[in-house]
Amino acid sequence: MAARRKRRGRPPTGRAQPAAQRMRRYRARKKAAGLRPVVRWEPPAESEGRGYFSTHRVLEARSLALHACIARKIASKPSLIGIARKNVEAWREAAGKEPPRHLAEWRRILKRPWRQIAALITEQSERAARLRQSSPFAGVLTAEERKRIYDAFRA
């Protein structure tokens, strides 16, 4: 008697829905619950206080969003990492004999496997925020992709 392979996951019901239909149903449930999708950042109302609002925090959040988009794009097309490597080399040549320290750091980082680089540029640590301020990923996103993120963070 042949050994039967155990199926993983839910048993088939014959009523599977396409992903788009599942997503529409999910969104309808959220809407019925009174939740609305967040598509842009809005500053808190005056009644909520302004103690934690900081323009610098908004800029850091925007930079993180840009780098998350960059990470997703490079994951789908790995050859785009070459843009960052070329940028670092061009900056080193332009800097002369004493390049800034962050260029050497980026050069070491860009030699790592892509998964480690993506994890670093999308991290919410102080080091990652500092590195994002001198990001070599200029040119990876199109003008339209950048505009969409900038518009979302415009207050």
| Tens digit of each residue's pLDDT (9 = 90 or more) over 97-123 | 877 888 889 999 999 999 999 999 999
Report d(CA 65, CA 40) in Å as an integer. 12
Q: Is residue 143 part of a domain?
A: yes
Which whole number is the average pLDDT over 2-25?
77
Integer CA distances (angstroms), 91 to 83, 121, 127, 143, in order: 12, 19, 21, 22
Strand (E) positions, the chain?
none
Q: Is residue 74 part of a domain?
A: yes
Q: Is residue 15 part of a domain?
A: no
- Contact between residue 72 and residue 115 where contact means Cβ atoms under 8 Å apart: no
Q: Is the pTM of this model over 0.85?
A: no
* Number of domains comprising the chain: 1
11 compared with 134, residue with greater pLDDT? 134
Res 113: pLDDT: 92
Q: Is residue 110 part of a domain?
A: yes
Q: Is residue 77 part of a domain?
A: yes
48 compared with 135, residue with greater pLDDT? 135
43 compared with 142, residue with greater pLDDT? 142
Res 117: pLDDT: 92
Range of 133's domain? 53-152
pLDDT, tens only, 19-44: 888 889 888 888 888 877 766 766 66
Report d(CA 100, CA 92) in Å as an integer. 8
Res 96: pLDDT: 80
Q: Is residue 111 part of a domain?
A: yes
Q: Is residue 59 part of a domain?
A: yes
Q: Is residue 14 part of a domain?
A: no
pLDDT, tens only, 47-104: 555 555 567 788 888 999 999 999 999 999 999 999 999 999 998 888 888 778 888 8
